[in-house]
Amino acid sequence: MNQTTYPSIKSYFDPDVSKREIDQAFSNGLSYAGHSLMVPEKYSYQVLPNFNDRFALFNQGDSYELISNVCLHRQAKLLEGQGRARSIVCKLHCWGYDNSGLLKGTPHFKEAVNGQLKKETLSSWNGLLFRGRTPQMDLAALGLTGYLDFTNYFYAGSETAEYQFNWKTFIEIYLENYHVYSMHPGLRQFVKPDDLEWSFGEDFSVQKVGLGEQLTKRTTDRYREFQDALLARYGQSLPRYGAIWCFLYPNIMIEWYPDIIVVSTIYPKGAGACVNHVEFYYPTALYQEIPDYFVLEKKAYMETALEDEDACLLLEKGRRALFLQGEEEHGPIEPFLEAGVAHFYNWLSDKKSNV
């Protein structure tokens, strides 16, 4: 086993140590902004909660842009939610901007005022939009082409979860299948946790997890309902995998489950808290045909997410006890089921030593 460099217990609780670590991890990492399906038509916009509504994503026809969502006059918030607009008018004193953020009107000002809302052109990769560089992930080579394909999908909305633990804790739980047996009574039947294929790149990992073999066996109520719907949809020709989890450092998850794609981003809020924005993408035609199937799948997903929160809180509590005593402790990493954890730790420590 390669030597693993563990993050210190301090890095989970000490505000200064944590801030340094976050700056290092996020300054050169990938930066996901949103998905082109959030703004399907020219002039569609979506205010982005992942940036605290600081920016709106705009479809400009030939490009996707982030446009500042803060008025140049007295700094009021400009847009809410999503919609379609060729111009932006501030509600407060009616300053007007065109769709590119150029200031066009400043009522009652005798002298002309020039202005341009901050804006940034985004880079597109497989429908996902990034600030700066895009992932170096060869979907074909990774066997993901048929899975992470957004063709004829639509953006079905988001969920936001706020957590009271360090951001790394969420990632650690995401990157190991060891806890699935004990913490996920539903998911552990739906997938086969040790039927697991790992792939690694410099700043990402992929877990493909086989579909469970006994989907009619007893499980939780939510997974029962979802699995019945899945069996009704597929009959005997079930999908090979139950889940595919891609993690792109520092904070982006792209997940495939039968017929849905989920894109989530986790953002630190200081050392002891983080927030997860979870976006759901569904195939349009199938959703129109069997909408209940998607409702049931999402309920099962949310059940698992709550259990993951419990897992994270257990880690947080144990480590907090160590931190309060000024102690450092780390245990061994199971090389197969927890392989992603070691990869993440090493990526993180590499970012630290590069500054």
Q: Which residues bind Fe ion (CB under 5 A)?
A: 308
Q: How far is the CB of 307 from Fe ion (least distance, A)?
A: 6
Binder of residue 317, out of Fe ion, ligand FES, none (CB less than 5 to 8 A by kind) = none
Nearest to 253 by CA among 303, 308, 178, 291: 308
Binder of residue 231, out of ligand FES, Fe ion, none (CB less than 5 to 8 A by kind) = none
Instruction: Map tokens 């002298």 to a residue.
Output: 111
Q: Between residues 89 and 322, which has the closer beta carbon with respect to ligand FES?
A: 89
> Do the Cβ atoms of 267 and 158 come closer than 8 Å?
no
> Do the Cβ atoms of 264 and 276 come closer than 8 Å?
yes
Question: What is the C-alpha separation between 41 and 197, in angstroms, rounded?
Answer: 38
Question: What is the C-alpha separation between 46 and 280, in angstroms, rounded?
Answer: 15
Q: How far is the CB of 85 from ligand FES (least distance, A)?
A: 15
Instruction: Map tokens 């090979």 to a residue.
Output: 240
Binder of residue 308, out of Fe ion, ligand FES, none (CB less than 5 to 8 A by kind) = Fe ion
Q: Between residues 297 and 308, which has the closer beta carbon with respect to Fe ion?
A: 308
> Do the Cβ atoms of 47 and 56 come closer than 8 Å?
yes
Q: How far is the CB of 174 from Fe ion (least distance, A)?
A: 7
Instruction: Map tokens 């245990």 to a residue.
Output: 331
3-state secondary structure of 31: strand
Binder of residue 93, out of Fe ion, ligand FES, none (CB less than 5 to 8 A by kind) = ligand FES
Q: Between residues 54 and 233, which has the closer beta carbon with respect to ligand FES?
A: 54
Q: Between residues 89 and 305, which has the closer beta carbon with respect to Fe ion?
A: 305
Pull the structure tokens for residue 44. 């569609």
Query: Which residue has the closest beta carbon to Fe ion?
Result: 308
Q: Residues in the site for ligand FES, rule: CB under 6 A? A: 71, 73-74, 76, 90, 92-93, 95
Q: How far is the CB of 91 from ligand FES (least distance, A)?
A: 8
